[in-house]
Amino acid sequence: MSLASVAANSTAPSQPPLAERRSMTRQVHGMEISDDFAWLRADNWQDVMRDPSLLPADIRQYLDAENDYSSAMLAPTADLQEKIYREIRGRIKEDDSSVPMTDGDFAYASRHREGGQHPIFVRSPRSGGDETILLDGDARAEGKSYFKLAGVSHSPDHRYISWSADEKGSEFFTIRVRDVANGVDLSDEIPESSGGAIWANDSQTFFYVRVDENHRPSKVFAHRLGTPVSDDRLIYEEHDAGFFVGVGKTQSGRFISIDAHDHETSEVRLINADHPFSVPVLVAPRETGVEYDLDHGDDCFYIRTNARGARDFSLVTARVTDVMDGRSSGREGWVDLVPYRPGILILSFTIYKHHLVRLERFEGLPRIIIRRLSDGTEHEIAFAEEAYSLGLMPSFEFDTATLRFAYSSMATPNRVYDYDMEARERTLLKEQIVPSGHDPDRFVTRRIQAPTLDGETVPVSLIYARTTKLDGSAPLLLYGYGAYGISIPASFSVSILSLVERGFVYAIAHIRGGQEKGYDWYANGRREHKTNTFSDFEAAAEALIKGGFTSKGRIVAQGGSAGGMLMGAIANRSGALFGGIIAEVPFVDVLTTMLDATLPLTPPEWPEWGNPIEDVDAFNLIRSYSPVDNVEAKHYPPILALAGLTDPRVTYWEPAKWVARLRHMKTDTNVLLLKTNMDAGHGGAAGRFDRLKEVALVQAFALQCVGLASVAL
């Protein structure tokens, strides 16, 4: 059944809900802004994040009405949703487990029980023996409508674990500490943290980050076991409202690192992990537009930075004694190790006692480079597929010659390898099992280049069944993100196979705003260049049509968060290209949000989008593309918008205002749906199977958009 026929079906509601218009205008830079749906933002939104029951009744009534309408309109796909859900679940090994990571006398891992929604964290003696359950996520989640673990971290002496969980979807995590010997949580309990806990070497002290009233990670505290949280020592506070803070530990275990950063500038302070209450030492003062991060190896700090014009980053070193004793004058003491090479982006790196490992992207594909520290010799780990995903995996150990990494492609399930950096030999430890069966040879993976009007080419990764005809008749799902320098990997997904096996081509447009083609690819897709992101996505769609992969009106576009803003922009700019648009937690009220410095994340976002409060040019540019502000009286394709009530990143009222304005303005009868998860935030449902139900709903909508829902069972 197509969406047009559903809209005309007498069993569906005859009219969608219409939000009340409540006129509000204001002047900014001498220009009038009107917002008839500003009332959908609850005055007590900060309280709602902590307790959703406090949502005002009129707002709840509207969101509930939209949810009821969405349920009714999608009811004809209920059987299809259930079938897709069962298919995807059938591709997941339900009792799966991670490859154990060794640390001293123990090996740590996580696993799921069959039917379980949440991970179980375990450890075993390194030499072999019985497993100990450290934390059972299913048991902790029992009876809760939302539960998400942020992770588990063991103390250096292996006596304790810290663990944290969010029970509202609002990303306020409570940290707890458990005695491994008896499995009992201590009285130590820290609310409203960002989630992680980093242990000092005394195994009695850990560091954590507390979020402020605007949900900004702003303060680093040290907590000593058995002492009141009120006595926790403030180690560092970030006073710039545009910066976040984080805390970590070097691979060597010798230093605690405190980083302060926005989207283009960073600054690091260090504490000797043997002396957790010592004063943090600044490595190099912040300088707008300069980023750096570091790791430690014996007598040197190794630093990845874009300082000195290294736009794709370089690696430098600084002597530990110079930095920690204050003899180094910031960046002046840094010595080049791996120089800047235009077009070769250094993504990340790790230092082991005898080796430096870096992950790079060259010509759009990742590769791992191993450098022996004693003599500087290097070699590469790479793969031959046209498009693939490659990532370094964490390790608890420093003095080791073993590197762990993961590899997959859009057709090849995930593989985990251990790699002997001296012998240059890889050992396959685990290959993702697809219980219902998977034959990579039944699929084709491709990478094409889509030309743009300004002379660039946009990489597009593709997967489709070998039996799919490339004559323009195939439906296509085109995914895009394009922000924050985040590159979307061409990795394996058990979920997308349900569409591919029904004849869809699945495509990822690696548009500007990501870093698939280096740092400049990112820089040319943000701030004053933001509209390149939208035109790149449109260029990808046009190239796919020209290449016979699909045709106009057969493309379903999908994006979430900042990618949801992309969905809103292309709906306004080029909606006729698309047969449907799926916008998940979409950042669509860009101008209003960037004009409000009191909202979560707004000041840290100004380097990405521009500051329309102080900069009239930024105001005019954002106003020109902000999806809510550019809705017009014209035809739009079918649209599904998903939101989370307790989402602190993209607040629920952004998609609500967008849909409300579309309902009043658009001139077509195409379906427009808003589904708000009233028990979750930015990531949707937290349980692994509950999340699959949301994926199945999205895919059923995509099939509806191209008229395949009734024949896809």
Q: Among residues 311, 342, 373, which one ends one of the domains?
A: 342
Query: What mean pLDDT is predicted for residues 367-373?
Result: 97
DSSP state of 506: E
User: Is 352 part of any domain?
Assistant: yes
Q: Between β-strands 217-224 and 205-211, what pairing exists: parallel, antiparallel or unpaired?
A: antiparallel
Query: What mean pLDDT is predicted for residues 638-651?
Result: 92
Look at residue 6 and tell me whether its pLDDT is greater than 80.
Answer: no
User: Is 360 part of any domain?
Assistant: yes
Same domain, 421 and 361: yes
Annotation marks residue 68 as catalytic: no
- The per-residue pLDDT for range 563-596, each reduced to its tens digit, is 999 999 999 999 999 999 999 999 999 999 999 9
Q: How high is the pLDDT of residue 50?
A: 86
State the total domains in the chain.
Answer: 2
Same domain, 368 and 337: no
Same domain, 337 and 408: no
DSSP state of 29: T
Same domain, 330 and 357: no
Q: How high is the pLDDT of residue 510?
A: 97
Tokens of 510: 């690696």
Domain hosting 363: range is: 347-435
User: Is 640 part of any domain?
Assistant: no
Look at residue 301 and tell me whether its pLDDT is greater than 60.
Answer: yes
- Mean pLDDT taken over the chain: 94
- Per annotation, catalytic residue among 2, 266, 561, 626: 561
Task: Tell me the chain's radius of gyration from C-alpha atoms.
Answer: 26
Q: Which amino acid is at 51?
A: D
Distance from C-alpha of 625 to C-alpha of 145, rounded to nearest angstrom: 37
Look at residue 700 and tell me whether its pLDDT is greater than 90.
Answer: yes
Look at residue 470 and tell me whether its pLDDT is greater than 60.
Answer: yes
Annotation marks residue 118 as catalytic: no
- The per-residue pLDDT for range 376-422, each reduced to its tens digit, is 999 999 788 888 999 999 999 999 999 999 999 999 999 999 999 99
Q: How confident is the model at residue 712 (pLDDT cuts 50, 70, 90)?
A: very low
Look at residue 5 and tell me whether its pLDDT is greater than 50.
Answer: no
| Least-confidence region, from 10-24, 167-181, 254-268 | 10-24
- The per-residue pLDDT for range 143-193, each reduced to its tens digit, is 998 899 987 999 999 999 999 999 988 888 999 999 999 999 999 999 999
Give the residue, 70 or 708, on which the prediction is more confident.
70
- The per-residue pLDDT for range 505-526, each reduced to its tens digit, is 999 999 999 999 999 999 999 9
Q: Between β-strands 505-509 and 476-480, what pairing exists: parallel, antiparallel or unpaired?
A: parallel
**C-alpha pair distances (Å), 695 with each of 6, 88, 495, 597, 688:** 21, 9, 7, 34, 11
Q: How confident is the model at residue 713 (pLDDT cuts 50, 70, 90)?
A: very low
| Residue 321: CA count within 13 A, CB half-sphere | 1
Same domain, 352 and 391: yes
Annotation marks residue 647 as catalytic: yes
DSSP state of 587: -
User: Is 275 part of any domain?
Assistant: no
Question: Virtual CA dihedral for 636, 639, 645, 651, nearest 10 degrees?
Answer: -50
User: Is 458 part of any domain?
Assistant: no
- The per-residue pLDDT for range 87-116, each reduced to its tens digit, is 999 999 999 999 999 999 999 999 999 999
**C-alpha pair distances (Å), 245 with each of 215, 278, 430:** 12, 18, 35
Same domain, 358 and 324: no
Look at residue 356 and tell me whether its pLDDT is greater than 50.
Answer: yes
Q: Among residues 326, 342, 358, which one ends one of the domains?
A: 342
Q: Between β-strands 198-199 and 217-224, what pairing exists: parallel, antiparallel or unpaired?
A: unpaired
Distance from C-alpha of 34 to C-alpha of 31, rounded to nearest angstrom: 10
Query: What mean pLDDT is predicted for residues 327-344?
Result: 88
- Per annotation, catalytic residue among 293, 295, 589, 647: 647
Distance from C-alpha of 333 to C-alpha of 325, rounded to nearest angstrom: 13
Q: How high is the pLDDT of residue 236?
A: 98
Same domain, 354 and 327: no
For residue 319, with 0-12 CB atoms within 10 Å meaning exposed, 13-18 middle and 19 or more buried, which class applies?
middle
User: Is 242 part of any domain?
Assistant: no
Q: How high is the pLDDT of residue 4?
A: 45
Query: What mean pLDDT is predicted for residues 608-616?
Result: 97
Same domain, 311 and 354: no
Which residue is it, tokens 């012998």? 423
C-beta separation of 403 from 410 below 8 A? no
- The per-residue pLDDT for range 423-461, each reduced to its tens digit, is 999 999 999 999 999 999 999 999 999 999 999 999 999
Share of the chain above pLDDT 90, in %: 87
Same domain, 416 and 354: yes
User: Is 318 part of any domain?
Assistant: yes
Same domain, 352 and 430: yes
Q: How high is the pLDDT of residue 284?
A: 95
Tokens of 534: 């939208």
Give the residue, 245 or 650, on which the prediction is more confident.
245
What b/e string do you get for 117-136 counting C-beta neighbours within 10 Å, with b at 16 or more? bbbbbbbbeeeeeeeeebbb
